[in-house]
Structure 1
Amino acid sequence: MEEQETKYNLSAVLIGHESDVKCVSVFLNGTIVTASRDFTVKLWRKTDKNYECYKTLTAHEDYVQGLKTVEKGIIPNFPREVIISGSKDKMIYVWDVDVIDSTNNDQEIRPTLTLIGHEGAVVCFDVLSNGDIVSGSWDKTGRLWRNGEQKFTLTGHTAAVWDIKVLSDGFTIATASADKTIRLWRGATCTHTIQAHEDCVRGLTPLSGRRFASCANDNMCKIWSENGEKVIGKLFGHENYVYSIAGNKDSKEEQDENNSNIPIQKSSNFLGVNFVTSSEDKTVKVWRDTECIDTLLHPKTVWSATWIPVYNPENESYEEDIVTACADYIVRIFSRSRNRIIDAKILDEYEKILAARNPNSTSIGGMDKSKMYSMESLNLPGKTNDEIRVCLNGNHAEAYQWKSTQGEWIKIGDLVDPPPNSQTQISGTPKEKIGDKEYDQVFDIIIDDMGQQYQLGYNNGDNPYILAKDLVMRNNLPYDFIENIANKIIQNITPTTISDSFTLDPLTDDGAYRPPTHRQQQFVNDFGGDPFTSDGAYHPTTYSQPKQFVDDFGGDPITGDGAYRPFQQNNYQPEIFQTMPTNTGNDMTDPFTSDGAYVPSILQKDTHNENQQEYTQEHSLKEKQIPDFYIDKFVSITGANTKRLIEIIVSTNSDLVSNEEYKISSLQISAIKELLEDSSSNSLKQFSHYQPIFDFIFNIAFPHWPSEHLYPFIDIIRFVMLDSSFAKSFISFIKKSNIDLISQILNIGGQLSTTAPIKNTKMILRFISNLFLIPETLELLQPHKLNILNSTSSFINIDPFIQIEFSTLYLNFAIEIIRSQKESKYLSKEEISLVTSITKFSQMDLPENVLHRFLSAGAILCVKNNNLVELFNQLDFGKALEKASKSSNQQISYIGNYLLSNFFF
């Protein structure tokens, strides 16, 4: 078995491009595809000791900025793998790997499809589950293509679209833009607009349960819950723009199961996600959830990085190497396997290059960082007039001078590492003037095509791209001139102001400049970055690193489902989030609903008399504002691995159904595929079109197939019932057919007993959780609620495979009980069973995301029904809350502390 290092080491170097390598993507078979500013796309395959470029695609006529590899069988009419490339030439090319492989090396390879429509550089792609292609461009739009034709345009962004991804459900589209937002789309309709970052959003990676992660020019990456409703994690560590983010294979479990039958090793941490990110700071960082576990230094800007699966047959698992695309024209592979470390001589030379490009970070300008003042020291006055202090601001050293007459510290420059054989200096000494304003340098900018000349002032530390764009905008010049003007500045900056600490020009690699480290007014245009070079146009404000906030409602780490739409702390205030009226003792207004008369000792009573027990103890509560963690919307489980469901049905039909009379035909399989595809794309037809499928499910599959293999049909029913209109037609069908849907499904799962097949239990819990979503399906559930609660309450332990579904079900039960509660001096058996189970499960040792749901269910009941608080008290729910209050998870500790201080004394 191969030995593993804990850190990644250089494994291979791929040399062949003649300019920046902008994009890298991989196929599951290990083929690497790269795109470059040299106008080419290259394909690389493994040799005995390294990789070789075996094909070069040359159709593009400008920088190739976008790249996507697609596994075989996903895009219709392409039996083999597919490559999609996009360029500054505004063209999208779709390449058939079969055509690429069959073309002789002396022949030009032509794309199979050309997609024309974008009005700006095309920089990103993804593919929906039905094979539709989506693209994003600097023209501020996304577009969807089907069979080579544009079907619709995604309009709404006010700046360039930098990335586009399809989320785990296979049809929700996410776009990231320089306007600092992320938008989610169903078809051509924008369903969510997320104010995502404080600077241009550069990249996205989909996670399970319609979660996703993003990276941006604010140096930060964020992990988002379902539909981007909430930030559930932040990745701090990069010191400059973050250009790309890629989740590992278990972060996209559903998609990967569609693409490979090779087992994928799962992560055991709370999100189960590893990330790799690339940055302008010349590093690639590897993350386990939100913890940076490795940093891979590069000589220059790293435009893109992703995982490359290396299959190890000895342990039947993937070993995830990392492949990077760098501005030094080179593609690199890093591995943790000792057997794949590059030759020692090459590794030694590479480390020398890194040492030269990435100097010792313990000092700046020859001054030890530990001897520098903190920025907080500037809150105190100087000891003498004109005292100078050098302060450490992040990774920058800033010089300040105390002015007694003004009573403040004035920034006078930045401490920088000097060129060889020169002395440490503080930059910022004026040299030249334009009018009355002094600059370190003044450049004459001549626009030959227009016969015009301008003067442009430059100060050490200014960003050349900001200055260039400012000049262009101020004088109404064409945007095409930005690149050339910036290059002129970079190439002519006085050498004594340049040092190793300056950021190399990400476009030309020629000259050097350092983005501003002081808080100058930032120039922001529509693109928020250079729309013509795809480079960062300015350095964002340095952001502090607050304590990480991790929300565990991100969805099922196993299936990726079950995420909910939480409140948005700054924007969303439901009607129930209102200050409660004062209860004076005689005031009979309900302090929890502000409605009707309130008698503290009156408890709730269900309309079914046989399910009631008297319960009359009182408990008085403080006047209170309903807390911001309160949830009043049912949690939906929306995702489905449709391809896997079909595979299981086909396999069961072939291997386990012996009676030909009960087998499913190929036509019926095709009909199920159509049903799932239509549901995924939100384009379901009338129910009658699909009725034969459900006739087969209820009349043949349910009664005659092995019960432990019926769970795919249960999940199909759940999935298509997410469409409320279709669900109503489906309910009408089962009523006319005298089908007791809930009873049948519960019987398949052994009435949710602890001995039932776990996959059946999982799918049934998912199915039941979604019955709460619309009144018609909730009506079906009503007669079975107590039975379900009693069955699930018998679990002594909850299998990890069903924990998310289990806790989601209880959360929805709690919401439904509060919504339907009526004044009564009785507690229903349902309420008693629910409170008892929540108390029991909340005291178990559960993952944070599962525990959070149980605690939230308890919180809902406590906040909206003070009579249930008495029962919680008697059952010692406080023990679970005491433990929760000490949790490192902020939301769990918040709920625990809130309930302890307000309800449990």
Structure 2
Amino acid sequence: MHCMSGHSNFVSCVCVIPSNENYPRGLIATGGNDHNICIFTLDNTTPLYVLKGHKNTVCSLSSGKFGTLLSGSWDTTAKVWLNDKCMMTLQGHTAAVWAVKILPEQGLMLTGSADKTIKLWKAGRCERTFTGHEDCVRGLAILSDSEFLSCANDASIRRWQILGECLQIYYGHTNYIYSISVFPHDKDFVTTGEDRTLRIWKQGECAQIIRLPAQSVWSCCVLNNGDIVVGASDGIIRVFTESLERTASAEEIQAFENELSQATIDPKTSDLGDINVDDLPGREHLKEPGTREGQTRLIKDDRNVEAYQWSVSEERWIKIGEVVGSSGATQQTSGRVLYEGKEYDYVFTIDVNENGPSYKLPYNINDDPWLTAYNFLQKNDLNPMFLDQVAKFIIDNTKGQMLGNTGTELSDPFTGSGRYVPGSSSESNAVLAPDPFTGAGRYVPGSASNVVAPLSGIDPFTGRSAYQSNNAKAENIYFPKKEAVTFDQANPSQILGKLKELNGDAPEEQKLTEDDFIILEKILFITCNTTVETPTAQQLLTLWKAINWPEDIVFPALDILRLCIKHPSVNENFCSEKDSIQFSGHLLKFLSPNGKQANQLLALRTLCNCFVSQAGQRLMMEQRDTLMSHAIEVKLCGNKNIHIALATLTLNYAVCLHKVNNIEGKAQCLSVISTVMEVVQDLEAIFRLLVALGTLISDDTNAVQLAKSLGVDSQIKKYASVSEPAKVSECCRFVLNLL
């Protein structure tokens, strides 16, 4: 129909994006060596748009609901795209991401990598890492909502449960397996690889082997009608079928067999094993029938060796090629030798002297022998006098193949002819209630006396009597939220009293003097009351001294910081470019999952209060990735006050992101909301997450689509029927209306 073009170098993966309202015939996505993804309509030969963002070859693509596209790249990342925008980047692999799949359940994605692992992602966060493959993972296929398959360069196929267990390992291929595809409505599947075969697997067994007249069978795909399509290194696409109506003519089948019989087979890359020509039988050996599908038999015809395969359905031996010897015997698996997780044409063993250790020397035929030799000697701390000797060894053992002399037959479309080098028990709320430092009834961070202060007469965040729900005529007063939500209320005298009590436990050099307490009392008065005074540099230094107390006793100082950071001059001082990294880094220390809950709570509240001034907002947005990734680590604490603070931090980010319309930031925030929703039970925290969600997706169709693709709508539906507090169900229904 069309010859589409748009990449500046080779195309390594193709994917169909299903039809939607805007494109009823669907779209075609292609990933290329130019680091780009081109999106085509079926009616045009030039791209509709180009997705830029990856820093190396895009080698895998998968499409999902609502137009979501997942891409994998040599740059070790996967990216989630929606229409023409990158929504989030999945980081965690240490080598190329060669396989990606979007699972049927919304929000779940799989990535397979040259680092030998598979990762499961939910809403953009790594939920689980699957280990077991002994080499690069090359292909993934989805069996059901709860199971998937993987294939790898270790010549194995594995069936996994989504919860992490490897259910079964399948062996049959004798070399790298590049591609895997599942039959529709079935658990049977097909695979292709570097051993020249397409293999059909039924009920866990290899039921059929189809040899092809090409060394590398790069890709396979099962069509909806059960036909199998394969693409190979000879540049030909072939379709195999069980249907008699679609079977090729006798002439075409004979032409395929003739082509197959004329192929040459390298015994090192096949499953033929070691061959001694003198021991082989003659052509009479083919008169005996085979015993199983795909059985291979070698015969000698004069000095030639021919390979035949038994076809059960046709009850005959089919010639699959002539076996040839190979020069360059040091080269293994068609030039793709793995060493320390990277691919090379050769991996030599070098013995420097008889009694010394052996060293591995990896080499690609497009490398400079002398530079390789020099780097080898440097890495292993060997005498430079060996330079000429090692370089000559390389040249002699590569049979004269020099720079730029790479072949095209075995040029991996995933890697290019130069061959890519991958990797170049919940605690209860009671923990805070009977404070071990204070006892019940005294100063307790996060207690009822320290709740969020009312922000306005009808602020739904307070739940006070001033707020009246009107179910009969509901009006969306919840989102988009325009201003940050802060934690204001406190009893300064109780906080200072606790600080004085704990001062005796502070290290001698960190103890506060009476003058220090007067200074802290003064800064608390200035920041907690409407005054024209500005905290002095000495007051700020004293506060910094207090918040550097040991973790066991620092919490009252953090509570003072939480209150003071709302003052514009304090905010400017701590959040300015000069001190911002030191300040944010200090707070991050308290967000360790194993840290004290009082410190976690007050650090989160301080971060929330940073949003009141421009300096704080700027710092929070600049450090968004780091702060959010650390903050979300405390989600499993089981403490409702921490959950409310975490939800509020997410809400404040949503407020900022709504103002600047940062789609990648919104995607990250949506991911956090989806993740936290799964563990939070407190309805106030749920309410704040709903407001954050509504704020993010208001007036942004891309954000709406992304939220749907992450499955957020199914997560929140249950809150639409909450009776008390009414604000939860009302806000939830407004969000669902947008979705």
- Normalising by the smaller structure, the TM-score range is 0.3 to 0.5
Larger radius of gyration: 2
- State the structure with bigger RCO (CA 8 A, min sep 6), 1 or 2: 1
TM-score by length of 1: 0.36
TM-score by length of 2: 0.43
